[in-house]
Amino acid sequence: MSLSNSASKLQAIRWARPRLDILDQLLLPHASTYIDICSSADGHRAIATMQTRGAPAIAIVAALSLAAELLGSSREKVSQLNTEAASAFIEERLDFLATSRPTAVNLFDAIRKLKAVVRNAATNNDDVVGAYVSAAEAMLAADVADNQAIGRLGAEFIRQRATGNELKVLTHCNTGALATAGHGTALGIIRSLHNSEKSLDHVYFSETRPYNQGARLTAYELLVEEIPATLVCDSAVSALLRSDPSIRAIVVGADRVARNGDTANKIGTYQLAITAKFHGRDFIVAAPTTSIDLDLASGAGIVIEERSQDEVLTTEGYDIESVLSGGELKRAAVRVAPVGVNAWNPSFDVTPADLITAVVTEKGVFVKAEGTKEFDLLQSLANL
């Protein structure tokens, strides 16, 4: 069964039952190479090494990696188990996949839902593998639909609030087709703005040190989509906002949104929210409801992934000679900071709800009640 999940020219995840391929994002933008993911072990490794990344994509690759395994290498073994043992095997594999990265809630939301599907199938003595694979495939399709809804709703929201003749926005990290099953969240809003009556004049995007999701991945997506855009250093954003009043909004993704709207996202997001507030610009979080953690009252409890100090002490690039000569693409880490210096390298930070203008989901655009500093996303979703 082949599912078309591309809502843009780029497709980070390719699923054609029983085969899963992902775009190796460690090699982008200089090489576009798909790699086979045949098992939950392959899926775990691809997520942990960030060959695939982005909150929604992490969940979908995890789910489909186990589907590929159940239809492939583990098919024979699982077929000889009774329903209860097969269900237990699937749950054990899902618990393993849950250890791949800690911050994006989408992974844990997907695992919770998939376990419920399998337990239900086991209770009814149904085909647990078939039920699992169908549920994982449904997540792939749902994410594309969610992102297109986020794009449409977010674009409408920004256009309604835009003043002046020009509309420009800024985004951080990568939240596009490379971070999801297609179209994207924050970058999905930008795609929708660009595609609708060409109402978007320009996009600025930050390099997003130290992993450079912006300079490598968002740059690649915007070039492929031919969206007029300019790359800026993370440290240049405040000066840019001060110099260009037509930048009306900063739009970012999310890895985990708490009930009150506090949002964990790529490191650097918090200071973007501060500068947006100072310069009187909207700060918009784009996130599917699979990124909202309703069990979390605020952002205080969000686990922030710490990555190696090396990412800060060096600058990751590519052996440009081998790139230019068409040779094997090699990533090259050039040491910048002196040996012996310490570094602090959290992969995410938490932006307080007070600094967020709106949370755009596939189910609606949520804003804070007049005079309040926090959202009530539980109530907002319940009121739909």
Ligand X SMILES: CSC[C@H]1O[C@H](OP(=O)(O)O)[C@H](O)[C@@H]1O
How far apart are alpha carbons 113 and 379 in whole angstroms?
A: 22
Q: Cβ of residue 83: shortest distance to ligand X, in angstroms?
A: 35
The residue of the chain with the least Cβ separation from ligand X equals 253
Which of 42, 109, 255, 282 does the annotation list as catalytic? Answer: 255
158 forms part of the interface with ligand X (CB under 6 A): no
55 forms part of the interface with ligand X (CB under 6 A): yes
Token pair for residue 39? 């098992």
59 forms part of the interface with ligand X (CB under 6 A): no
Provide the Cα torsion 329, 20, 218, 170; round to 10°. -160
Q: Cβ of residue 226: shortest distance to ligand X, in angstroms?
A: 21
Size of the site for ligand X (CB under 6 A): 17
Let me know if 146 is a catalytic residue.
no
Site for ligand X in 159-188 (CB under 6 A): 173, 175, 179-180, 185
Query: How many CB atoms are closer than 10 A to CB 226?
Result: 9
> Alpha carbon 274 to chain centroid distance?
22
210 forms part of the interface with ligand X (CB under 6 A): no
Q: Which residue of 8, 65, 148, 347 would you call a contact of ligand X, by CB under 6 A? A: 347
Q: Cβ of residue 352: shortest distance to ligand X, in angstroms?
A: 17
The smaller minimum CB distance to ligand X, of residues 59 and 121, is found at 59
The smaller minimum CB distance to ligand X, of residues 176 and 240, is found at 176
Q: Cβ of residue 305: shortest distance to ligand X, in angstroms?
A: 8
In sequence order, the 6+-apart residues with CB closer than 8 A to the CB of 80 are none
Q: Cβ of residue 103: shortest distance to ligand X, in angstroms?
A: 8
Given strand 364-366, what is the order of strands in its sheet?
229-232, 202-206, 168-171, 247-252, 282-286, 358-361, 364-366
148 forms part of the interface with ligand X (CB under 6 A): no
Tokens 């992490």: give the residue: 58
Residue 228, preceding bond cis, omega within 30 degrees? no
Q: Which residue of 213, 260, 290, 351 would you call a contact of ligand X, by CB under 6 A? A: 213
In sequence order, the 6+-apart residues with CB closer than 8 A to the CB of 116 are none
343 forms bridges with which residues in the sheet? Answer: none
Query: What is the DSSP annotation of 243-293?
Result: H-TTEEEEEE--SEEETT--EEEETTHHHHHHHHHHTT-EEEEE--GGGEE
> Alpha carbon 170 to chain centroid distance?
17
Q: Which stretch binds ligand X (CB under 6 A): 51-59, 115-123, 160-168, 194-202?
A: 51-59
Q: Cβ of residue 179: shortest distance to ligand X, in angstroms?
A: 4
Which residues sit at the interface with ligand X, rule CB under 6 A? 53-56, 173, 175, 179-180, 185, 213, 252-255, 265-266, 347
Q: Report, as residue numbers or ranges, the catalytic residues.
A: 255
